[in-house]
A and B are shown apart, each in its own frame.
Chain A
Amino acid sequence: MRKSNTFFLVTAIQLAILGLLMAHAAIAVQAPSNGLRQIQSLVKRLELTDLCLFTEARYTRHLSQADLNTPFQDHPLSLEHFPSGSFLAPPAMIEKLNERVD
C-alpha cells in the first residue's frame, strides 16, 4: 500500500473514533444518567452544599463553607500545606484592585 494511502487510512480511523467519542459525549449529556438525578435529589433532600472531592481537611471538604482565613488557620505564617489547596484559585476579591496604583 502506498504510504499516502496508509496515512489517509490511519487519519480516517482516528477521525471515526473521535466522531464516535463525540457522539458518545452528546448522547451521555442529552440523557444524563439516573445517577446524576439521584445525586441532585440527595443534595436537595440532605441540604448538602459541597462536593466530596477533598476530604483531607475540614476546610477542603466544604470549600464553600470554610472560613476565609483557613489556609492560615494554624498560625499567621502557615502556608496552605494540603495538596488540594493548590487547585484553588484565590478569591476574586483578593485580585481586585479598587483603583490603579501606578
Chain B
Amino acid sequence: MREWIEKQKYIIDFTLSSLLRRKAKNIGLLALYTLIVFILASVMFFTHAIKKEASLILDQSPEMIVQKLVAGRQDLVPLRFVETVRGIRGVQAVRGRLWGYYFDPRFGANYTLLVPPPTAQTGAAGNGSRRVMVEGEPDRNAEGSAGPLFDLGADEIGVGSVVIGSGVARVREAGTGELMLFRAYDGEILPFRIKKILPSSSQLVSSDLILIDEADFKRLFGIADGLVTDLAVTVRNPTELSTIASKITRRLPDARPIIRDEILRTYDSIFNWRGGMMIVILSSAVLAFVIFAWDKASGLSAGERREIGILKAIGWESSDIILMKFWDGAVVSLTAFLSGVILAYGHVFFTDSVVFEPALKGWSTLYPRFKLIPFVSAEQVTTLFFLTVVPYSVATIVPAWRAATIDPDSAMRYTGE
C-alpha cells in the first residue's frame, strides 16, 4: 500500500512539474475553471436559498386572497363581496385589506402603503382602539430572545402618522418624528409624521412598506367607504381551499381568488433555472465549460504528445501515462472546484451576493438588504462536483489514452497540432 502511495506521489510530483512548465496557460485555465464553478455554485446556492426562505416566510401569508377584476384589471372590492364569501360553507373569516402603491417622484421610489389589520382583541370591525402587535414566536431554545418586532397602538399609528420600512427611511434619510409629505389624489399635500421605523432585520418583506391609518389611506387615494383593495379569506379546513375558490368564482364571476399555494408556486418559479436571466447565466457558463472540455478532449498539443513519446521510450507504461493524465485533470479540476465552491459560499452568504446585486436590483430604488439563510446541502455540492470535475477529468484521460497507445517513435516525430 505504502509503495502504491509513493508511486502516486511521484506521479503527482511529475504532473505538477509538467503543469508548472506551462505556468501561464495552466494558471489561466485554473482561474477560468474556478470562475465557472464560482458562477454555477453561486447561482445554485442563491436560487435554492431564496426559494427555500420564500417558502418559509410566505407560508404565513393569508390562506386566500380574493380580488375583483374589471376589464381584466384589478379593481376595488365592494364590501358586499365579504357577505357573499362569508356565506360559503367552510369559510371561517373574511377581512377586507386596504393597500396600494404610491410613487414618490422625488426619490423615484414606489412605496407600498398598507392599513394594518386589527388584532383579535380589537375585533374585525376595527373600531375602537386599533392595536397592532407583532412578536416573534416564542423561542424554545433561547428564552425571551425573540422580542417584539414592533408594537403599535391605535393612538400611536393614529391619524396623521405612519410607520415606515427601513428601506424608505434609508432612501429618504428620514428619522422618527420627521414629516413625510404625500400628494393626495386631489392634489392636496398631506403631511404624515413618522412614528416608527420597522427594524432592518425585516427588510425582505418590509423595505418599502408604509403602515398608515385607514382614514388617512382613504383620504390619500380618495377611496370611498365600503370599498377595499382585496379580501383575505381564512377557511376551516385548508384542504378545501381549491373547492372554496371554485365556489367563489361561481358565485362571484368577476372575482379572482389566489390561494396560498399559488403564492408559494409563484416564488418557486422565480429564479427557476429554466427562466430568463438564469438560463442566460447558466448557458454561458456551461458553454464556456464545454469549450474547455472540448479543447482538452479534441487532442493533445504537439509538445504534450512528444512528452508522452519520450516517457514511453524511457520505460513508462501506458497505464502510468493515463494515471499521470488523470492526476493532471484531477489537480486542476479539484483545486478549481473547491476554490469555486468556497468563494461562491462566501459570495452568497457572507457578502449578500454582491456580484448578482446589480442584476437583482434592476431599477428598484428600495432594494432590500438581507442575509440569506445558508440552505446548502451535500446533494447540491455533489451535483456540482459531478457536473464539473468528472467531465473534465474524463475529457483529459481520453486523448491521453489515445496518445499513450501509439508507438513512442511516431509520438515523438508527430509535430502537427
Contacts and interface: CB of A to CB of B under 8 A. Distances in A.
Interface of A: 2-7, 10-11, 14-15, 17-18, 21-22, 24-25, 28-29, 31-58, 60-65, 67, 69, 82-92
B9 interface: yes
A99 to B, nearest CB: 22
Contacts of A11: 334-335, 338
Interface of B: 8-10, 12-13, 16-17, 53-54, 56-62, 65, 67, 69, 72-74, 95, 97, 101, 109-110, 112, 114, 116-117, 119, 132-137, 139, 141-142, 145-146, 149, 165, 167, 198-199, 201-209, 211, 230, 232, 258, 262-263, 266-267, 269-272, 274-278, 280, 331, 334-335, 338-339, 341-342, 345, 349, 359-368, 371, 373-376, 378, 381
A72 to B, nearest CB: 11
Which label, helix, strand, loop or mixed, suits the secondary structure of the B interface? mixed
A19 to B, nearest CB: 11
A68 B362 CA distance: 21
Nearest to A5: B9
A83 B112 CA distance: 20
A18 B335 CA distance: 12
A88 to B, nearest CB: 6
Given A42-B198, A55-B207, 15 more contacts: A2-B13, A7-B331, A24-B374, A34-B146, A35-B202, A35-B371, A41-B136, A47-B61, A47-B62, A47-B232, A55-B109, A56-B110, A56-B362, A58-B110, A61-B208
B103 to A, nearest CB: 9
Given A3-B13, A41-B137, A49 B149 contact: no
Nearest to A34: B146
A51 B205 contact: yes
16 contacts: A7-B331, A10-B335, A22-B381, A28-B374, A38-B135, A41-B60, A42-B198, A47-B62, A48-B206, A49-B61, A52-B206, A56-B363, A57-B110, A62-B112, A84-B364, A89-B274
Contact of B202 (A7, A38, A60, A62): A38
Contacts of B97: 47
Contacts of B133: 45
B267 A55 contact: no
B364 A56 contact: yes
Contacts, number: 238
A30 B84 CA distance: 44
Contact of A45 (B53, B132, B338): B132
Contact of B58 (A24, A51, A55, A90): A51
Contacts of B207: 52, 55
Contact of B149 (A25, A38, A50): A38
Contacts of A67: 69, 72-74
